[in-house]
Amino acid sequence: MEVPAAWNGTLLLWNRTPIFRPEPLQVASDELTRRWLLEHGMALAASNYRTPAGVVFAEPLEDQVALLDWVDAHLGRPRQVITWGNSGGGVLATLLAERHPDRIDGAIPLCGPLGGIGTQFNLTLDFAFAVRTLLAPGSDLELVRITDPDATAARAAEIVQGALGTPQGRARLALANALANVDGRQRDIHDRDIENHHELRGRNTGPGSAPFSGYRQPPASSPLLVLFFERTLSEL
């Protein structure tokens, strides 16, 4: 937890995705946004959850509520609590707001699969199946019950790279990407933003950078998040 000297009473409760555990623990989406929030008097808090990693939500929800209890006991009840998070953390942010409206004043799910994790995984499987069917029919590319994830990722990357080399392959890859809402323009956006954001964000590892897509998902735009907070938090 980080509390600025001139705390204005607003607490932003960050929800990391429970699927993997980052090291070190973050209290914001990125360093630029973290600095801006602290400079504008907002406290930041996050929990690393008792479960190391996995598609779990019940325990992280309890851990986040326990963290709010700790804040109340040691710092006093915040004037307002905004919960936010990306990916699975966006799901957690939404669940916290829905289940604890007496504790949460607002929620900011950043690219959270709010249609449900099962639905999200089904979409991913449909996408991978389309890639194999269109680009490598009859191949040994494993889509389920994968025995060697690294080898499978390398094989998928090889298939995609081969498709990128021909107009027909690129057209089929674009069709498969349409199933997962992966837009070819993402690479253009990424290339424009990478010089400004690479040092802050590191290489993006979200779904858009999966070897099946052939595209890299652009990093979350820190300046846009700052602009969002600047325009909205003062109104809550």
pLDDT tens for each residue of 25-64: 889 988 999 999 999 999 999 998 887 767 778 899 999 9
Instruction: Quickly list H helices, 100-183.
Output: 117-135, 149-164, 167-179
Per-residue pLDDT, averaged over 94-121, amounts to 89
Do 99 and 129 lie in one domain? The reply is no
pLDDT at residue 141, rounded to an integer = 87
Query: Treating both helix axes as pointing N-terminal to C-terminal, what angle do 167-179 and 149-164 enclose, rounded to 10 degrees?
Result: 130
Do 123 and 171 lie in one domain? The reply is yes
* Residue 16 is assigned to a structural domain of this protein: yes
Rounded CA gap, 97 and 92, in Å?
9
CB burial class (10 A; 0-12, 13-18, 19+) of residue 129? middle
- Record the pTM: 0.67
Two tokens at 86?
């990306």
* Residue 157 is assigned to a structural domain of this protein: yes
Q: Which helix (H) or strand (E) holds 43?
A: strand 43-46
Is 156 within 8 Å of 212 (Cβ atoms)?
Answer: yes
Do 88 and 158 lie in one domain? The reply is no
* Residue 217 is assigned to a structural domain of this protein: no
Do 134 and 189 lie in one domain? The reply is yes
User: How many CA atoms, within 13 angstroms, populate the side-chain half-sphere of residue 158?
Assistant: 10
Least confident among 58-62, 192-196, 205-209: 205-209
Phi and psi torsions of 19, nearest 5°: -70, -30
Do 67 and 130 lie in one domain? The reply is no
Do 23 and 84 lie in one domain? The reply is yes
Do 107 and 124 lie in one domain? The reply is no
Q: What is the residue whose two structure tokens read 């990357």?
A: 157
Tally of structural domains, the chain:
2
Is 169 within 8 Å of 162 (Cβ atoms)?
Answer: yes
* Residue 2 is assigned to a structural domain of this protein: no
Q: What percent of the chain has pLDDT over 90?
A: 39
Do 96 and 150 lie in one domain? The reply is no
Domain span at 64? 10-111+222-235
Q: Quick check: helix, strand or coil at residue 11?
A: strand
Do 157 and 199 lie in one domain? The reply is yes
Do 101 and 151 lie in one domain? The reply is no
- pLDDT tens digits for 172-191? 988 888 887 776 554 544 44
**How many other CB atoms sit within 10 Å of the CB of residue 103?**
18
Instruction: Quickly list H helices, 76-148.
Output: 88-99, 117-135
CATH number of residue 77's parent domain: 3.40.50.1820
Q: What is the residue whose two structure tokens read 């009473």?
A: 9
Q: In what order do the strands lie in the sheet with 10-15?
A: 43-46, 10-15, 80-86, 106-110
